[in-house]
Structure 1
Amino acid sequence: MKLFKRILLVIILIIAVVVYLNYPKLNIISGYAAKYMGSSITIGQHSSDYIIKNDLAMPLIEMADTEYDSTTKTATASVYGLMTRKAINRQGLGSVLVNSDYVEGTPYLQPERNLNQVNLPYPYGHLPAKDSVFENIDYDQLQKAVALPFGNAAVQRTRTLVVLYKGHLIHESYSDGFTKETPVLGWSMTKSVLATCFGILEHQGKIKTEWAAPITEWEKDERKAITINHLLRMQSGLEWNEDYSGISDVTKMLFLESDMTKAQRIQKAIAKPTEIWNYSSGTTNLLSGILRQQFRAHQDYLNFPYEALIDKVGAHSMLIEADLEGNFVGSSYGWANTRDWARLGQLYLNKGEWNGEQLFDESWVNYITTPTVHSQGIYGAHFWLNAEGKFPDVPSDLYSMNGFQGQYVFMIPSKDLVVVRTGLAEEPDFDINGFLANLIKAIE
């Protein structure tokens, strides 16, 4: 009995130490679980059982006990009964974590959408895609190539795949639980969408990337030298820790902050602009706040990404979630079905032209694909690059929208290709170079 008591005491002490060391993380863990559950049900169209079994089955996050109330459309999560977090649904704005200051039933604005159907074949409209056959495509090789992302499903975990060639749909595949209508969370692919809004404003003559960032707090210190261009290129010199493994700048912003535009704004400068390249989700949300400043009314800000870009190209499934203060979370929370993600890629291959209308200037594509200093050729302006051959068997003109867990929109201008792949695994588990090289081989 004495031995049993001693063993029990040791176990209790171990549990106490583990809880003590991880207690601050519990808020982040339960926040992630509640937020993801709420969004994945109301936007992603999945069941709670599916989400728990698949999306939330990841280190630390799987510790959370997560539930969804379909009547109130709220998700709650806690870890061993501690740090309970709740996410509510707001029509048109997605799911959002609430805090103790939140008043139930607080009114909010939502984007006004134009969901008109365009009588053109996909991707330029909403009619069925043309059944196109190209003489230069080796269709046997194509089938082998598009099967690669779905091979070894337990490792690669690919969910959806869409391939456009010369503006025609030549392939699409979906794993169980996904269809051409299923919205997928793009995570940081949303950064490229947010950046595109600045390209549109610049084309409209309403903003210039070389302008100083309009941040009042920076006007009397060294941060006044930071421009919108520096922010778009992640070279502002501001301090930021983009670490998702624990408590960091980015996890505190996404799962604790009501106003995510402030997280980067309050950071100190650790270098002069252009001296370092530091990837920062806080920078994108700061840009979302700067975008909001360009409009007199909050409603105009909420409408702009949709009326000027998203609904303009017919990507009606897309939704960018907002924080509790009504700011678009441009760093992380854009949803769309795979076909609609591909529409945005095709817009870029078209250098901003869509059905006869120029949404952003052709020069914008050159701008966002110009390598940023100190990025080793992998980053432009909120887009990822292959400028220095990170993917050795893929053309160097490839550029892409990238997101956590392997969300990608690849644009390869020299091959007239747009490729969208979504899933739950990224490099090295998902072999980007091998897949794209084999795909390109099919059209050469």
Structure 2
Amino acid sequence: MEIRKIAGRTAFALLVVVLGTGAWYMWQAFPIISGYGAKNLASAVYLQHRNPIQVIKEDLGDFPLSIGSFTVNSEDSSVTGSVWGLAKRKAIYRKGLGCTLINDFTETEIRAQQIELPAAPQINSDTIPWPYGDRVSDTIPTAINKTLLDNAINFAMHAASNGESSYTRAVLVVYDGKIVGEQYADGFGKNTLMLGWSMAKSLTGAMIGILVKEGKIDPDAPAPVPEWKHTKKENITVKQLMQQTSGLDFKEDYKGPSSVTNMLFKRGDMARFTAKLPLLFQPGTVFNYTGGNTNILSRIIRQTLGEKEYQAFPYQSLFHPINAYSFLLEPDASGTYVTSSYSYATARDFARFGLLYYNNGIWNGKQVLPENWVKESIQPATADPLKRYGYQFWLNGLDKHDSTKRWYPDVPADMYFADGYGGQNVYIIPSKKLVVVRLGLHVINENEFLKEIIQAVNP
């Protein structure tokens, strides 16, 4: 009898633990599922003009996103998400600003924000030669083996991930400044805005560079973060934020509740959320890649410039000067651009950004970035033992003599790239005169893809 009582109590205790764990997971995860789905479906519908049924099937079809329910409301340009009727989250669309999740601020407060963006010039880009416009020559440089190049592009377009389609939406190859290969999935084209995810971090690195050039930011100075005054964090530098060595206790994991998913889908002021996190490491000593560092940088830009100038700054100082007129940065509920994650542009405009770095920050004869900024941007942080990260750009490991120590062993050591969740990439390979863009839903074998592209280029 006593054994039965013990067994019964043990089973009951286990049941309580299981139910408690399940309740905790639902409390933590359901708002993330609802928020992720609402935000991404809203941007897909209102920015990309995609069919919501297709988006729900492809972009939100994997578990656990598949347990969410999402409703598009065209009357107020919004999407609402929930999980089994719980944890409702709403994302709203505003013209010129894209979509924003309602968190910490009311919908009325967000819609009342006065944000003025500069208009892109009214030009017919199809009549202007690439890269200043979109007229592309049919002539292929003699250095390009077209058959091998087409095979490489087809590899990326039809690649599978874990036995399922990677949903590659765009591949674009630029050789010596010229577009030599370009292909899109059905429903996408050269004018379709594509989500860059963390490629926005590299845009942030460029914006910081422009402010360094103007003498408004010193990379080696302590970052001007109000929450850090008179704390152990007050000596964290702008450079440490750029190199992902701030030391903040931030976990970048998209598989479940973590710092990054809580920041993106539960917080209205993402920079403030990150700034208030405790230190886990001494600043400058440990490489820890986080979106939070980048959103703090975005708010630093905002505080440096002031509201009106900040809103227009990315467009007037970076995008428009390189003829990249499709770029759009989405703000959080507080009005700070979410430059950790939410950048949209056409594949061609992402390629233009890559060309800016390929050309050492010069565009059409003008030095947009500081003269040495690109060189500095691809120097690895001393705290990064794998030598794979610079100023918001990923590196190939920089081992010129041992390819096995590179991230991509079949790709030259001088390759560096903007990288986004799910395999959004702009690869810059100076030694091969290449800028390569790949945009999709899931990752592909990037080393094999780039290897095939390189093989199509005769030495």
What is the TM-score of this pair, normalised by structure 1? 0.92
Instruction: Measure, in 1, the Cα distance between the counterparts of 2:315 and 2:407.
Output: 33
Partner of 1:263: 273
1:441 aligns with 2:455: yes
Letter of the 1:435 partner, please give it.
Answer: F
1:412 aligns with 2:429: yes
Partner of 1:322: 331
Tell me how far 1:206 sits from its aligned partner.
Answer: 2.0
1:52 aligns with 2:47: no
Kept after mapping to 2: 8 A contact 1:249/1:263: no
- Judged with a 3 Å threshold, the aligned counterparts in structure 2 of structure 1 residues 16 and 274 are, in CA distance, closer, same or farther, namely closer
Kept after mapping to 1: 8 A contact 2:104/2:333: no
Instruction: Measure, in 2, the Cα distance between the counterparts of 1:18 and 1:106.
Output: 40
What secondary structure is seen at the aligned counterpart in 1 of 2:117? coil
Write the deviation string for residues 155-201 of structure 1: whole angstroms up to 9, x where unpaired: 43311100011110101011111111111100000000011101111
Instruction: Measure, in 1, the Cα distance between the counterparts of 2:206 and 2:260.
Output: 22
Alignment of 1:86-165 (within 5 A): 86-99=90-103, 101-104=105-108, 105-117=111-123, 121-153=128-160, 154-165=164-175
Partner of 2:347: 338
Partner of 2:297: 287
Tell me how far 1:127 sits from its aligned partner.
Answer: 4.1
What secondary structure is seen at the aligned counterpart in 1 of 2:131? coil
Write the deviation string for residues 53-103 of structure 1: whole angstroms up to 9, x where unpaired: 110112211111111012211101111111111111112211111147514
Kept after mapping to 1: 8 A contact 2:176/2:434: yes
Letter of the 2:445 partner, please give it.
Answer: D
Instruction: Measure, in 1, the Cα distance between the counterparts of 2:413 and 2:40.
Output: 35
Number of residue pairs aligned between Structure 1 and Structure 2: 429
Write the deviation string for residues 26-55 of structure 1: whole angstroms up to 9, x where unpaired: 111111111111111111221111110110
Q: Give unpaired runs (5+ residues) of structure 2.
A: 1-14, 400-405
Kept after mapping to 1: 8 A contact 2:378/2:391: yes
Write the deviation string for residues 118-174 of structure 1: whole angstroms up to 9, x where unpaired: 867453222411223212222222122221112345343311100011110101011
Kept after mapping to 2: 8 A contact 1:118/1:314: no
Alignment of 1:3-82 (within 5 A): 20-24=23-27, 25-82=29-86
Alignment of 1:147-186 (within 5 A): 147-153=154-160, 154-186=164-196
- Judged with a 3 Å threshold, the aligned counterparts in structure 2 of structure 1 residues 116 and 124 are, in CA distance, closer, same or farther, namely farther
What secondary structure is seen at the aligned counterpart in 2 of 1:223? coil
- Judged with a 3 Å threshold, the aligned counterparts in structure 2 of structure 1 residues 101 and 193 are, in CA distance, closer, same or farther, namely closer
**Cα RMSD (Å) of the superposition?**
2.0
Instruction: Measure, in 2, the Cα distance between the counterparts of 1:415 and 1:259.
Output: 42
Instruction: Measure, in 1, the Cα distance between the counterparts of 2:166 and 2:18.
Output: 35
1:190 aligns with 2:200: yes
Letter of the 1:96 partner, please give it.
Answer: T
- Judged with a 3 Å threshold, the aligned counterparts in structure 2 of structure 1 residues 270 and 338 are, in CA distance, closer, same or farther, namely same
Instruction: Measure, in 2, the Cα distance between the counterparts of 1:63 and 1:259.
Output: 27
Kept after mapping to 2: 8 A contact 1:235/1:277: yes
Letter of the 2:423 partner, please give it.
Answer: G
Letter of the 1:310 partner, please give it.
Answer: F
Alignment of 1:205-354 (within 5 A): 205-296=215-306, 298-354=307-363
1:356 aligns with 2:359: no
What is the TM-score of this pair, normalised by structure 2? 0.89
- Judged with a 3 Å threshold, the aligned counterparts in structure 2 of structure 1 residues 201 and 116 are, in CA distance, closer, same or farther, namely farther
What secondary structure is seen at the aligned counterpart in 2 of 1:115? coil
Kept after mapping to 1: 8 A contact 2:104/2:268: no
Write the deviation string for residues 276-319 of structure 1: whole angstroms up to 9, x where unpaired: 000110110000110001113x1110100000001111211110
Letter of the 2:209 partner, please give it.
Answer: G
Letter of the 1:129 partner, please give it.
Answer: V
Partner of 1:368: 377
Q: Mean Cα displacement is larger for which, 167-176 or 264-273?
A: 264-273
Partner of 1:423: 440
Letter of the 2:376 partner, please give it.
Answer: Y
Tell me how far 1:227 sits from its aligned partner.
Answer: 0.7
Kept after mapping to 2: 8 A contact 1:197/1:309: yes
What secondary structure is seen at the aligned counterpart in 2 of 1:159? strand
Partner of 2:7: none
What secondary structure is seen at the aligned counterpart in 2 of 1:311? helix
Write the deviation string for residues 308-358 of structure 1: whole angstroms up to 9, x where unpaired: 001111211110000111100000000011111101001111111111211
Letter of the 1:353 partner, please give it.
Answer: I
Instruction: Measure, in 2, the Cα distance between the counterparts of 1:17 and 1:216.
Output: 38
The percent identity for this pair of structures is: 36
Tell me how far 1:240 sits from its aligned partner.
Answer: 0.8
Instruction: Measure, in 2, the Cα distance between the counterparts of 1:152 and 1:141.
Output: 16
Partner of 1:7: none
Tell me how far 1:394 sits from its aligned partner.
Answer: 0.6
1:400 aligns with 2:443: no
Kept after mapping to 2: 8 A contact 1:122/1:169: no
Write the deviation string for residues 242-282 of structure 1: whole angstroms up to 9, x where unpaired: 12222221111111111111122112222222210001101
Kept after mapping to 1: 8 A contact 2:298/2:339: yes
